[in-house]
Amino acid sequence: KQEVTQIPAALSVPEGENLVLNCSFTDSAIYNLQWFRQDPGKGLTSLLLIQSSQREQTSGRLNASLDKSSGRSTLYIAASQPGDSATYLCAVREAAGNKLTFGGGTRVLVKP
């Protein structure tokens, strides 16, 4: 059974610092991996999707890497801003089936 772990569970940084969020998964037979953002009381917003054949994806200040063989992904957020404060979730989609398996999330606070 696929298990997804995110470390740390919570992170607090001063504004301007770079953020590094880690995600690990136990079964490397994945179809793709997604990073989501969740704001309190709201649904999930997709940030980046990395296909299994890709090594990284970039969007603005966000960069996500994927090392399928070691079962790891890292989300980098450059020059953090208070508006980046949210919970970040990674999710893997396995080769068989369409469901996503989520990690527990990393709660990020960027202090002005």
Residue 48 Cβ, how far from another protein at the closest point, in Å?
10
Contact set with another protein (CB under 8 A): 4, 6, 31-32, 34, 36, 41-46, 49, 51-52, 89, 91, 97-105
Residue 5 Cβ, how far from another protein at the closest point, in Å?
10
Cβ proximity to another protein: between 77 and 88 the closer is 88
Cβ proximity to another protein: between 5 and 74 the closer is 5
Residue 103 Cβ, how far from another protein at the closest point, in Å?
5
3 state SS for the chain? CCCEEEECCEEEEECCCCEEEEEEECCCCEEEEEEEEECCCCCEEEEEEEECCCCEEEECCEEEEEECCCCEEEEEECCCCHHHCEEEEEEEEECCCCCEEECCCEEEEEEC
